[in-house]
Amino acid sequence: MQSTYKYQLSIVIVNYNVSYFLDQCLHSVKKACQNIQAEIIVVDNASKDESIAMLQENHPDISVIINEENVGFSKANNQGIKIAKGEWVLLLNPDTVVAEDTFGKCLSFVADKPECGGLGIRMINGKGTFLPESKRGLPTPAVAFYKLSGLSKIFPRSKKFNRYHAGHISETESGEVDILSGAFMMLRREALDKAGFLDETFFMYGEDIDLSYRIQLAGYKNFYFADSTIIHYKGESTKKSSVNYVFVFYRAMVIFAKKHFGKKNAGLFNFVINSGIYARAFLAIVARIFKHAAIPVLDLALITSGLYALSHRWHSGGIDFPETAFNILIPAYTAIWILSALLNGVYDQVNIWKVIKSNLIGTLIILTAYALLPKEWQFSRLFIITGMFWSIAYYLISRVYFSFFYGKKIHFGQSLKRNFLLVGSESSTRHTKELLERSQAFIGKIKPIHSLESSESVKGFDEVIFCSSSIPYTDSIKWMTELRELNLEFKLSPPDRDYLIGSNSIDTAGDLYFLEVNKLVNKENQRKKRFFDIGLSFTLLLVAPLVVFSQENKMSFLKNIWKVFTGKYSFIGYSEDSILADHRLPRTLPGILTPCDEIPIQTKELCEKLNLLYARDYSIRKDFRIVLGAWKKLDRY
């Protein structure tokens, strides 16, 4: 019997301001469509970046629906589904990369399964780590309770306690599941027509759960397919420490319960979910604080204890410490050394030079403040110097311990150079090598190779960059999975592009990298920038009665200072239009001022250059200079 469908597969991708991810995604999708009859439909939700221009220039052969406003994820997908002419409809996120064999294998898997209404796939993030949301169970009240209570983590392989992530099915085993992920949701058109399209009442999250359940209610089954793998850069696992994620995601579960479980069960579900929301939100806050503060707090306690122990030597020599100084100044000294260590990147990488430098800076600050103290508080400069050596010794000893037990390398020298392994053809690796050499990053060894043969090939390297024009995505994904335990960073170098897509930390499983402008997003510089914002905004709030009269719009000035102090704004940042127009600019807090504000005559080209220079050569001195030069503009908005 001849099929009534024009295509085997219709791929629907909803895009909103992620042109670079979309470009990479479409490149992989086209490769995967070479041996099947397929159409590609992109629905753009009123993107303000260069998405449309990119599509017209790089992908003129695909169908594009351009919305004049952001209509939301569900409605935009429904627009694509309505014009799709395939027997199967794939809802695919733009921040994904599919393997060359993905679509062919998926279609072969469902060919002899007329009962299959939907298919999900094995997904990894940009670090090569498996995303558990690839396979899920129906979030009934019991399933929600097991997940929120933590029982699912205690019994990860249990069909009962970890049904939410279908723990009874391994990540490498295909099988029947309840829920598919909206990042890759391959749906039989016949099942869609019976079950209905995506429910547009879901604000964010939950629409994939709702549709998966309705497909089951329509008499079909959903399957998880493990014989092919895709990359999903913005996987849910990267957001679970976010309090906002906890609230938005689980509120979506409440909407789902009210729709499908009836009033009685929905009430129970609502109680369980709301109780869990606040418990998980509290735990998320505690976990975030512990993650960032545990080691500095431990350092603070141990260095302070060492200083108190040192003070006994001074007591035995007949030098009495004033009680006030003993109770206040010693902890204050330690706090200054810790703060200096934070600002100088000691907690970002184990680097001996940074330890010495941060302690010298801290000691200079302490000695300067010491000279201004009342005489009765000045008990010993030698104690401060000795305390500095104790602080340095403590850091070195403790970091040797961390290096031995946790595998963190200790580095000598001022900068930490990174070694890059480029995988691809001679021409493609040459292009990527030129990008690296032009960058301001700390470039160490760069070695191009045609292909990876074993894990031995990556020894001595920090990053592996796969050149997508010559290396199959199948191979890139395979090696990312196999090497995920080696603490490497992986990036893809799209064909003939001046950017990389990948991940530099476990907290950001997918990011866009323009090598020339990465200095501003360095953790050390981000911390310094925030310290500058807090310090200056606090000072301005204290002296507001004296300085507010220098501003034309006094209330706006005070509101702006408060926004910076509370972390909603930075003194210096980029306008929203600048960020959307130039994706090379790293994401930062919006600024009261921009790098262009210190010059009297502004042009688009000049502002673009100043923005890039600010990102590339960021320093606190630049922030000071811009604030002083554009002081009168602090009352804007």
Distance CA 137, CA 164 (A): 4
Contacts of 242 (CB under 8 A, 6+ apart): 284
Q: Is the four-CA dihedral 434, 435, 441, 447 of positive or negative sign?
A: negative
For the chain, the residue count is: 637
For 197-240, how does the pLDDT look when each residue is reduced to its tens digit (9 = 90+)? 998 876 556 788 889 999 999 999 999 999 999 999 874 434 44
Distance CA 504, CA 488 (A): 9
- Residue 266, pLDDT > 60, answer no
Distance CA 107, CA 225 (A): 11
Q: What SS3 class is residue 252?
A: helix
Please say whether the beta carbons of 510 and 503 come within 8 A: yes
Query: Confidence class of residue 56 from pLDDT cuts 50, 70 and 90?
Result: very high
Q: Domain 7-135+171-233 in CATH: superfamily?
A: Spore Coat Polysaccharide Biosynthesis Protein SpsA; Chain A (3.90.550.10)
Distance CA 431, CA 433 (A): 5
- Residue 411, pLDDT > 60, answer no
Question: Lowest-pLDDT range, 10-14, 168-172, 434-438?
Answer: 434-438
pLDDT of residue 607: 80
Nearest to 421 by CA among 439, 451, 447: 447
Distance CA 463, CA 523 (A): 18
Residue identified by tokens 């000045």 is: 378
For 385-399, how does the pLDDT look when each residue is reduced to its tens digit (9 = 90+)? 999 999 999 988 888
pLDDT of residue 284: 64
Q: How far lies 568's CA from each of 174, 361, 384, 430, 592, in Å?
A: 45, 29, 38, 42, 10
Right CATH number for 418-517 from 3.40.50.11220, 3.30.499.10, 3.40.50.300, 3.10.50.40? 3.40.50.11220
Higher pLDDT, residue 125 or 525: 125
pLDDT of residue 507: 38
Q: What SS3 class is residue 348?
A: coil
Nearest to 91 by CA among 27, 41, 45: 41
Query: Which string of DSSP letters, residue by residue, matches 271-317?
Result: HHHHHHHHHHHHHHHHHHHHHHHHHHHHHHHHHHHHHHHHHHHHHHT
Please say whether the beta carbons of 13 and 93 come within 8 A: yes
Measured in whole angstroms, the distance separating CA 192 from the mean position of its chain's CA atoms is 33
Domain with CATH 3.40.50.11220 in the chain: 418-517
Please say whether the beta carbons of 463 and 505 come within 8 A: no
Cβ neighbours, 10 Å, residue 225? 23
Distance CA 559, CA 548 (A): 11
Higher pLDDT, residue 277 or 234: 234
Distance CA 12, CA 89 (A): 7
- How wide is the angle at C-alpha 563 spanned by C-alphas 561 and 568, nearest 5°? 145
**Tokens at 595, concatenated:** 């790098």
Measured in whole angstroms, the distance separating CA 588 from the mean position of its chain's CA atoms is 13
Contacts of 71 (CB under 8 A, 6+ apart): 45, 79
**Tokens at 125, concatenated:** 């993030």
Distance CA 572, CA 623 (A): 6
Please classify residue 476 by burial: count the beta carbons closer than 10 Å to its beta carbon, then call 0-12 exposed, 13-18 middle and 19+ buried.
Answer: buried
What sections of 196-261 are H helices per DSSP?
A: 207-217, 243-260
Nearest to 84 by CA among 152, 12, 147, 21: 12
- Residue 440, pLDDT > 70, answer no
- Average of per-residue pLDDT across 273-287: 66
Question: Lowest-pLDDT range, 95-104, 182-191, 239-248, 579-588?
Answer: 239-248
For 107-157, how does the pLDDT look when each residue is reduced to its tens digit (9 = 90+)? 999 999 999 999 999 999 988 999 998 998 877 666 766 676 667 777 777
Distance CA 8, CA 104 (A): 10
Question: Lowest-pLDDT range, 76-80, 143-147, 212-216, 349-353?
Answer: 143-147
Domain with CATH 3.90.550.10 in the chain: 7-135+171-233
Q: What SS3 class is residue 127?
A: coil
Please say whether the beta carbons of 92 and 184 come within 8 A: yes
Beta bridge partners of 493: 467
Most confidently predicted of 485-494, 522-531, 594-603: 485-494
The pairing of strands 86-92 and 116-124 is unpaired
Question: Lowest-pLDDT range, 36-40, 174-178, 261-265?
Answer: 261-265
For 152-192, how does the pLDDT look when each residue is reduced to its tens digit (9 = 90+)? 777 777 777 777 777 788 999 999 999 999 999 999 999 99
Distance CA 448, CA 456 (A): 15
